[in-house]
Amino acid sequence: MNVHLTLAIMRKDVADAIKNQFIFAFLAMPVVIALIFKLIFPADSQKLTVVAYDPDHSRLVAALQEMPNIRLLEVDSDSQLMESVRVNKAVGGLAISPGFDASVVAKKQPELTAYLNHRQAEVKRRTFQRLMQQQVAALTPPPASIAWVDVDAPLESQAQAHSFLVENFILVLILVLPVVAIGMMMIPLLLVEEKEKHTLSFLLVSPASTTDIVVGKALIGLMYNLAITGIVIGFNHGWKGNWEITFLALFLGSLFTVPVGLLLGALFNNAIQLNTWGTVPIMLLLLPSFVPMGQALSPVLRTILRLIPTYYLVDTLNLSLANRASIAQVWSNLAILLGSTIVVFAAAVWVLRRERN
């Protein structure tokens, strides 16, 4: 592979993407959706009453006390906590075990118990849940884990036991959207435009190898994907949960969808064909992100979803954003994404080599 030729291809594609107003608007779409999501869950505007049992005055509770949108009430014993949540109409409560800070520093991953009052408005409950995840993720790594306990919850809600959060479901959706859409719309559109303008023919007979062309375009797609997903996460109060695994999952997901887009661009000859038939694989790859984590699925649907590589991206993001992921838990998901990437990349190179010949 020739690095200089690959970089030249990347520079050309960056210029082409900037000049194309459709692609520019397409890149901005996930950012707009992220802003709308932030408006739907305005954490900073919600005044929350929280009850805490914190015998050793932990850093976690001290941080909550400094927040202007938090009214913190403390109780003298763990047994008083749930009743105090009810009486004071608090959105939730925290039971911090003795020696919590020392356990965090010693990397023992202590567990704290968080109570969620279902008599309060849902938006306040979701805000409290997200706030606690953020505060726990900010602790000295490895962070503590949160055990959620429902207060006065309906039977259905108790049965589900918070297997997923509404905001996490939406966040996963708007993270997967640019990963799939940019890789499978922007990249093939750039390739199809080169076919329509007959610049691809010149590129194929240039000193650049087929691998140089594929890698150059793949790196552009990867760069745009990671930039947009980074902005989306930034708009939604930064990284939370197991952020290292979140980044790795998004990286491998982008690494998979970009060569799929190159394969589509190599198979179709014009934008009309791409727009007509390209939406089918896009919707297929987006399908797993429309299924909330923890939802009961029929065996047939579960089997179908597991045949779609992005299922493993969605599953990993759900676990990492909920602060429940470890490499031991998700390594098989990441391995499937990487293996799928290698297969599709090889297919894209093979199809472009046929055009070259």
Give pLDDT, residue 231: 80
pLDDT one-digit tens code per residue, 197-241: 766 666 666 676 667 777 777 788 788 888 888 887 777 654 566
Q: Is the pLDDT of residue 84 over 90?
A: yes
Give pLDDT, residue 16: 67
What is the rounded distance in angstroms from the CA atom of residue 128 to the CA atom of residue 47? Answer: 10
Q: Region 316-328: what's the mean pLDDT?
A: 79
Domain boundary pick from 134, 160, 186: 160
Backbone dihedral angles phi then psi of residue 150, each to the nearest 5 degrees: -80, 140
Confirm if 30 and 178 have CB atoms less than 8 A apart. Answer: yes
Kindly list the distances between the CA atom of residue 177 and the CA atoms of 65, 209, 249, in Å, as whole numbers in the listed order. Answer: 37, 31, 14
Share the mean pLDDT of the chain.
79
Six token digits for residue 283 = 């919707």
What DSSP element (H or E) covers 94? strand 92-95
Are both 140 and 176 inside the same structural domain? no
Q: Is the pLDDT of residue 72 over 80?
A: yes
Q: Region 283-296: what's the mean pLDDT?
A: 75
Give pLDDT, residue 163: 41
What is the chain's length?
357
Q: Does 236 or 139 have the greater pLDDT score?
A: 139
Kindly list the distances between the CA atom of residue 216 and the CA atoms of 73, 98, 128, 209, 337, in Å, as whole numbers in the listed order. Answer: 57, 55, 44, 11, 21
Give pLDDT, residue 318: 82
Domain that holds residue 115: 43-160
Are both 218 and 90 inside the same structural domain? no
Q: Is the pLDDT of residue 1 over 70?
A: no
Are both 229 and 317 inside the same structural domain? yes
Q: Does 216 or 158 have the greater pLDDT score?
A: 216
Q: Does 164 or 242 have the greater pLDDT score?
A: 242
Least confident interval from 15-29, 208-222, 241-255: 15-29
pLDDT one-digit tens code per residue, 233-244: 777 654 566 788
Are both 191 and 323 inside the same structural domain? yes
Q: What is the 3-state secondary structure (H, E, C) of 35-69?
A: HHHHHHCCHHHCCEEEEEECCCCCHHHHHHHCCCC
Are both 146 and 249 inside the same structural domain? no
Are both 143 and 287 inside the same structural domain? no
Give pLDDT, residue 342: 93
Give pLDDT, residue 158: 43
Are both 98 and 221 inside the same structural domain? no
Q: Is the pLDDT of residue 90 over 90?
A: yes
For residue 191, what pLDDT band results from cuts at 50, 70 and 90? confident
Q: What percent of the chain has pLDDT over 90?
A: 17
CATH number of residue 61's parent domain: 3.40.1710.10
Are both 154 and 170 inside the same structural domain? no
Least confident interval from 174-178, 320-324, 325-329: 320-324
- Tally the domains of the chain: 2
Q: Is the pLDDT of residue 38 over 70?
A: no
Are both 70 and 22 inside the same structural domain? no
Domain boundary pick from 143, 160, 177: 160
What is the rounded distance in angstroms from the CA atom of residue 196 to the CA atom of residue 139? Answer: 54
Are both 156 and 214 inside the same structural domain? no
Give pLDDT, residue 159: 39
Q: Is the pLDDT of residue 53 over 90?
A: yes
Q: How many helices (H) and strands (E) does the chain have?
A: 17, 5
Domain boundary pick from 160, 176, 193: 160
Are both 109 and 200 inside the same structural domain? no
For residue 251, what pLDDT band results from cuts at 50, 70 and 90? very high
Are both 138 and 181 inside the same structural domain? no
Residues in a beta bridge with 50? 72, 92
